[in-house]
Amino acid sequence: MFHPVGELDFIAIYKHILTFWDEHKCFQTLVEKNGSGPRFSFLDGPITANNPMGVHHGWGRTLKDLYQRYYAMRGFHQRYQNGFDCQGLWVEVEVEKDLGLNSKREIENYGLEKFSRKCRERVNKFSQIQTQQSISLGQWMDWPNSYYTMSDTNIESIWYFLKVCHERGWLYLGHRAMPWCSRCETSLSQHEMLETYYEVTHKAVYVRFPIKERPGESLLVWTTTPWTLPANVAAAVHPELEYLRIQAGEHILIVGAETVHRVGTEGKDYRVLGKCFGKDLLGLHYDGPFDDLEAAKNIDHRVIAWDMVGSQEGTGIVHIAPGCGQEDFELSGVENLPIIQPVDETGTYLEGFGEFTGKRVQDLQQAIFADLKRKGVRFKTESYTHRYPSCWRCGEELIFRLVDEWFISSEEIRPQMREANSKVRWVPSHVQKRMDDWLVNMGDWCISRKRYWGLPLPFYPCKACGHLNVIGSLEELRERATEPFDLPELHRPWIDAVKIRCEKCGETVTRITDVGDCWLDAGIVPFSTMKYFEDREYWKDWFPADLVLEMRAQLRCWFYSLLFMSVALEKTAPYKCVMTHEKVLAEDGREMHKSWGNAIWFDEAVEKMGPDVVRWMYLGQATTEPLRFGYGPSREIKRKFLQFWNVYSFFVLYAQEDKPGLVYDRVPQENTRLLDRWLISRVNSADALIRASVENYEVRKAVIAIENLWEDLSNWYVRRNRRRFWKEETGPDKIAGYQTLYYTLTTVCRLMAPFVPFISEHIYQNLVRSLDPSAPESIHHTPYPVCDPGLVHTTLEEGVAMVQRVVSVGLAARNAAGQKVRQPLACAMLVVPEELRETIRQFEQDIVEELNVKETQFLDDPGPYIRRHVALDMKSLKSRLGKEAGAIRKAWEEVNQDDAYDALSMGNEFLLDLPSGLVAITPDDVRLAMEGTEGYSAASEKGVTVVLDLTLTPELIAEGRCRELVRKLQIMRKDAGLEVSDRIRLHLFRGEIMDDIVNRFKDFIAAETLAVELTREAPGQDCFVRDIEVGNDTGLVGLVKVA
């Protein structure tokens, strides 16, 4: 039979169950069991195997596991392939830190071969750690079969993709200004700019550009990046904006009309001389601030038109340096501007920049300012706070510089991607529009990185003939290589040694040294991991994925690269549905931050809360809102589980005694009570709701449905049925009760199983497997329960809900009258909806017991028993009617409250006759209250009114005192340290009340307190003794355990 149930210990349970699954190979059994089932294709987004997992990873992983487990219980065959993202700057930067390296030069000195080995080691180490962490969260995956984006297969698949792009003419080497990290010495692509903008305060400078054609007059230009001034070639104005010619001190300046206030303090120290439009300034020439430098010597600085110039920004005149900004660079094409590239990869000034040469951008500010001052063109400086991008990896502020990078053109594919996106189901739906916005705005995809540990781009540009050779596979590389090779892996530096023959001219060609954007690595996985090249039939079975699920930030990373590559290769989206979730915050609503002390580590969360609690926290949260993760919420969750656990514990406690013949997976049919059928109905209607919610990606709804089921099970079914299980004999009624509870507990566990795999397995093992060894070995091998509509009784569920409300309202009426529940009352009169009377009548006994009344009656009209009272809401009246409110209050004292109540409670207005005329009082102006008339107490809520008859007969009073006495005896039993089943001898000594009560209720008292002997003699030395007070009487009581 069952094992006794101890305390709820999530940690012990999960550890035990993990071992159990492992020893019994439960996951493998599941995969085999569903091997011939319909397919559910889930595609796992690769997690970067670079650090231990954080709690923010747990959300997605829990959702992923929920869906895989749910569809597994529904018999679906799945791949269960986990993925690791292995390449790119992420890994390099961490390895650099470990090795104490701090630049590309240091890496090269260290040796690329050793460096690549270290990167691989790191990935291997953390993929193992992350695997263990995921297992502890309960994730079931085919772990040994995880894919790694650094694998040769993955790399070759990307090569194929790149070759396809090349064949379509999409691939090109671009020369552009890119956001650049001078520490990592690489550019950042558009999607790497995500979450890289921070509030930064910079020193901004106003600089004069003296106009050649107008001696003594200058353009005033403002910039937050003074280091770019040596690269200035032009000044841009908006042709349609108004500009002012002003006298400021000794200078005459040209400034935008709307920004002129910046020139001085509140406009006091300048004088307007004239005005003009931007177009009037076009073509003017000016002296650049650094014309003395070799690199800027022959530049012809002029004023150009640009309609992106904002009227509020800076001075309305924009400094243009095409070598230092993307928009500036684009403008240089339109305006045919020269381009000055001031810095190298490390942000160091190149030759030709005088004293700046050899210095880094970050260290130059003072020198530039000093130089500008010396030349007399520095107008003023100011601190300026704005959002500025920094490197997402190392935190270094980014600069913009001109670089050669490889791009995939997005013009041709853009409409196809938008079309494909329109067929995808996004959860939540508005993300689809986000994706479309992103696609509309996406620039060409910059795929090259000037780094080491990454996908080697298979580009072999021929210096002799200019032809670009793109290799599409390892086999092709072998065929075209100048000599045979043996590579340990497709990575730098090994691959760099391979040279090929140009297919055009036959010249020997070397690979470019660039590696690829890591989103290429991740975007190819629907092909590389689904046997696109080896087994097309298999691929067709699994592509496109039914579900992809990641945090929303993946929109322009993984979701984007997946879509791009899949549309390029197959003209279709690789996913049918994409579910996204928001980010995880600390309990206080802020980001988790080590230094703020609000961070919780993943391992710590699992070890302290238990994985089931962690999962419940994730699954109970709307995926559209950030999750607040913390110990406070986890305690609340544990309490909810405890409610269910206690029912389980209660059931096992009694079932072990009585050993009723229980049958797994059978709905009790015979001898059931109405409340049994109600519970069975609740389970089945919840089942339907849970399934629908999960399948519609409304996981939270399912979680709430389960919690409500726990609540009804514990707080109504068990509460109302407890005495049924105390009975000595085990008759048909009791057996039906057991089977109902058994059916419910095991079914609810199976409903919960995909959500909380550990605790549900634990209970299943005890309730099902220990009883029926032929049942499936694991709860996760059982089919997900199917709602039987024939067992759902809507009227019954509504009726019980109404009974629950009657009880609640009745207790409120008791509370209002100050009558404790233990004092029996004669009658509760109920006003309830006509159509539910019949159902409610069947539960009269429940109402009678819960409210402790002798009987219930239905009432058509509570009128004679209640007094209505309408209180004015003076605030509302004052705001609506002003001064009249006082007069209304006076007049209100004369109003018949019943009439007013009736009118207002129906939502109508009530007309009040004032000397000044009729005033309409609306339901918003009042508060409706109800109280019992003399001798009655009443309360009302949502269509239910309960009137209690408060009249106490001597008989009722005596019974109340008896219950009081019994209660105090029970406390004594507990204080005496007795077990609940211990039998006692009871001494009721002294006190008149005893005589009366004992005479009337002797049997009742004996039964309730398990007294086998009840005596009026004085308690002896062996007794636990106490003076107690009942009503106005006191007495001496003793009790002692008897054998």
Partner RNA sequence: GGGCCUAUAGCUCAGUUUUGGUUAGAGCGCACGCCUGAUAAGCGUGAGGUCAGUGGUUCAAGUCCACUUAGGCCCA
Binding to RNA by residue 639, rule CB under 7 A? Answer: yes
- CB of 220: closest distance to RNA in angstroms? 22
Q: Which of residues 540-579 bind RNA (CB under 7 A)?
A: 552-553, 556
Q: Which of residues 933-952 bind RNA (CB under 7 A)?
A: 939-943, 945
Q: Which of residues 833-862 bind RNA (CB under 7 A)?
A: 833
Task: Calculate ∠ Cα 108-114-115, nearest 5°.
Answer: 60
Binding to RNA by residue 808, rule CB under 7 A? Answer: yes
Candidates 1010, 1028, 1030, 1039: give the one binding RNA (CB under 7 A).
Answer: 1010
Task: Calculate ∠ Cα 112-116-119, nearest 5°.
Answer: 140
**Residue 93 in tokens:** 């930067």
Task: Give whichever of 447 and 490 is closer to RNA, judged by the CB atom.
Answer: 447
- CB of 430: closest distance to RNA in angstroms? 4
Binding to RNA by residue 74, rule CB under 7 A? Answer: no
Site string for RNA, 713-752 (x = CB under 7 A): -xx--xx--x---x--------------------------
Q: Mark out the alpha helices in 137-190 (DSSP H runs).
A: 152-167
Binding to RNA by residue 769, rule CB under 7 A? Answer: no
Binding to RNA by residue 643, rule CB under 7 A? Answer: yes
d(CA 207, CA 377): 6
500 and 159 in contact (C-beta within 8 Å)? no
- CB of 69: closest distance to RNA in angstroms? 23
Binding to RNA by residue 820, rule CB under 7 A? Answer: yes
Candidates 110, 172, 392, 438: give the one binding RNA (CB under 7 A).
Answer: 438
d(CA 1030, CA 1042): 26
- CB of 39: closest distance to RNA in angstroms? 28
Binding to RNA by residue 970, rule CB under 7 A? Answer: yes
Task: Give whichever of 400 and 460 is closer to RNA, judged by the CB atom.
Answer: 400
Binding to RNA by residue 1026, rule CB under 7 A? Answer: no
Candidates 74, 963, 985, 987: give the one binding RNA (CB under 7 A).
Answer: 963
Backbone phi, psi, residue 611, to 5° = -60, -35
Q: Which of residues 651-670 bind RNA (CB under 7 A)?
A: 653
**Residue 852 in tokens:** 């402790």
Site string for RNA, 477-516 (x = CB under 7 A): ----------------------------------------
User: What one-character-per-residue DSSP string does 476-487 give?
Assistant: HHHHHBSS----
Burial 861-881 (b: 16+ CB within 10 A, else e): ebeebbbbebeeeeebbeebb
Task: Give whichever of 392 and 494 is closer to RNA, judged by the CB atom.
Answer: 392
**Which stretch, 114-122, 592-600, 642-650, 686-694, contacts RNA (CB under 7 A)?**
642-650
d(CA 848, CA 824): 10
- CB of 322: closest distance to RNA in angstroms? 16
**Which stretch, 23-31, 169-177, 244-252, 700-708, contacts RNA (CB under 7 A)?**
700-708
Q: How many residues does the chain have?
A: 1043
Q: Which of residues 194-223 bind RNA (CB under 7 A)?
A: 194-195
d(CA 713, CA 701): 18
Binding to RNA by residue 688, rule CB under 7 A? Answer: no
744 and 686 in contact (C-beta within 8 Å)? no
Instruction: Give the 3-state secondary structure of residue 163.
Output: helix
Q: Which of residues 578-637 bind RNA (CB under 7 A)?
A: 589, 622, 624-626, 628, 632-633, 636
456 DSSP 8-state letter = B
Binding to RNA by residue 434, rule CB under 7 A? Answer: yes
455 and 521 in contact (C-beta within 8 Å)? yes
The Cα-based distances of 907 to 702, 884, 899 in angstroms read 36, 22, 13
* Closest by CA position to 148, among listed 647, 490, 504: 490
Binding to RNA by residue 418, rule CB under 7 A? Answer: no
Instruction: Give the 3-state secondary structure of residue 632.
Output: helix
Binding to RNA by residue 311, rule CB under 7 A? Answer: no
Candidates 99, 257, 811, 895: give the one binding RNA (CB under 7 A).
Answer: 811
Task: Give whichever of 375 and 701 is closer to RNA, judged by the CB atom.
Answer: 701
Site string for RNA, 889-928 (x = CB under 7 A): ----------------x-x---------------x-----
Sequence-ordered list of residues with C-beta below 8 angstroms from that of 98, at least 6 positions apart, any chain: 118, 122
Binding to RNA by residue 307, rule CB under 7 A? Answer: no
Candidates 430, 463, 666, 889: give the one binding RNA (CB under 7 A).
Answer: 430
Beta bridge partners of 508: 501
- State the DSSP H helix or E strand holding residue 110, giving kind and residue range, or none if neither: helix 104-110
Sequence-ordered list of residues with C-beta below 8 angstroms from that of 411, at least 6 positions apart, any chain: 444
List for the chain the helix, strand, coil content (%; round to 5). 45, 20, 35
Task: Give whichever of 355 and 835 is closer to RNA, judged by the CB atom.
Answer: 835
User: What one-character-per-residue DSSP string does 554-606 give?
Assistant: GGGTHHHHHHHHHHHHHSS-SBSEEEEE--EEETTSSPP-GGGT---BHHHHH
Candidates 279, 359, 375, 701: give the one binding RNA (CB under 7 A).
Answer: 701
Site string for RNA, 365-394 (x = CB under 7 A): ----------------------x-------
Give the type of residue at 7.
Answer: E
Q: Give 505-511's long-range contacts (Cβ < 8 A, gap of 24+).
A: 505/462, 505/464, 505/465, 505/467, 507/462, 507/463, 507/464, 507/465, 508/482, 509/460, 509/461, 509/462, 509/463, 509/469, 510/460, 511/456, 511/457, 511/458, 511/459, 511/460
Candidates 647, 675, 803, 840: give the one binding RNA (CB under 7 A).
Answer: 647
**Which stretch, 51-59, 290-298, 753-761, 967-975, contacts RNA (CB under 7 A)?**
967-975
**Which stretch, 190-198, 335-343, 504-512, 891-899, contacts RNA (CB under 7 A)?**
190-198
- CB of 5: closest distance to RNA in angstroms? 8
**Which stretch, 78-86, 595-603, 818-826, 889-897, contacts RNA (CB under 7 A)?**
818-826
Binding to RNA by residue 271, rule CB under 7 A? Answer: no
Candidates 172, 388, 650, 664: give the one binding RNA (CB under 7 A).
Answer: 650
Residue by residue, what is the 3-state secondary structure of 309-376?
Answer: CCCCCCCCCEEECCCCCHHHHHHHHHHCCCCCCCECCCCEECCCCHHHCCCEHHHCHHHHHHHHHHCC
Task: Give whichever of 36 and 429 is closer to RNA, judged by the CB atom.
Answer: 429
